[in-house]
Amino acid sequence: MTSSALPEARRLDTAAALLDLLADTATEPRTDLQLEALTLAVAADLPVLLWGEPGIGKTAALTQLAAALDLPLTTVIASVHEPSDFSGLPVIGDDPAVQGVPMAPPDWAVRLVRAGRGLLFLDELSTAPPAVQAALLRVVLERRIGALHLPPGVRIVAAANPRSSAADGWELSAPLANRFVHLQWTYDHDVVLRGLGGTWPRASLPHLDPARLREAVAFARRAVCGLLATRPALVHRLPNNETRRGGAWPSPRSWEMTLRLIAFATAAGTSREVLSMLVRGTVGDGPGLELLASLDRLDLPDPEALLADPSSAVLPERGDLRQAVLDGVVDAVRQRPDQARWDAAWALLVTALETGAPDLVVVPAATLAGLRRDDWAVPAAIERLAGAVSLSRGADHAGVRAEAVVGAAR
């Protein structure tokens, strides 16, 4: 029997078979930084908000994530709900004066509580009116819907389109925005091509090293507290612009979220690129970049340890970090000067000269030379540095002379 002669019901069965084949896709391990950032935030039990243009694949990513983590997915379109759908509908009992009026939760919340685990996906968040956004505050932060409290096994992820491309969109309110980790969701050309061919990246939770948990927490606390101790203005900075208030900005709440993300990233050995996405998506670009820079300095060796054993010192490869280490060593000698520490600092400068760019030792060497006391003998190491210092200064003078010649020619 030809396909044209099949009964209508059989034709639908054939169409369903074809749809099943189209939906039959596989996954593979593949580096995907934004997916890695999403899974780490989910593991840290922090609400995540994916920002991206319509059709970019936000919903598909959440569907695949729920399947990979074996979590039931509950999708709630925020814009089509009333505030009472999140705060609960009042139900009057036999004696409300004694028992009160409980707030009945919606059926999807009841299903999540019964399952004890799941992925709650709040879609189209930027099209939810202000009253609905206000009702979502307790859902996102306190995980309460009516009289129900979502169990710890439930994770919350939301998605939104920029106001310019949202259907009748609203700016996200500052209180709601400050409860999310904001991730910019874009598409990768190679990932899309591979996925349309039937194979998508595999989502998986980060592998946390049990032996590094305490170290990770201590590092995260030291990083955040160290930055805020020197930059108190960053503790709370509400943007003046309404659009920016709907994104990531620093507050005690978002710094606490950042601390948690750093701890998880450290325990998982997460790349700096992924950590950058998460930190900047929590406290904003400016404070986030300052924190990332301070993390680099936290990884630097202790100047006192270097002065105690300069022969075994290992200096950073990056020029800016090496410069910071050398400056720290010289400053340590300045704060507690003696002949042995001064000699050890010269030995470290020689190591820096032999293993890196000579120009990095010029300023520390000049500063260290100025710390010499009259009764301190001049170490032999100074002779090894003299050539590099004079060569660098000669190059500087030559550059100045060249600029003067060029200026005169003009």
Length of the chain: 410
> Taking the model in full, what pTM does it have?
0.75
Strand duo 89-90 + 103-104: pairing: antiparallel
Residue extents of the structural domains in the chain: 28-91+101-201, 210-298, 303-409
Q: What residue ranges of the chain have pLDDT lower than 50?
A: 391-410
What pLDDT score does 397 carry? 41
CATH of domain 28-91+101-201: 3.40.50.300
What pLDDT score does 168 carry? 62
What pLDDT score does 341 carry? 92
pLDDT digits (tens, 9 = 90+) for 46-61: 999 999 888 888 888 8
What pLDDT score does 6 carry? 60
What pLDDT score does 101 carry? 63
What pLDDT score does 165 carry? 63
pLDDT digits (tens, 9 = 90+) for 280-325: 999 999 999 999 988 877 777 888 889 999 888 888 888 878 888 8
Cβ atoms of 212 and 267 closer than 8 Å? yes
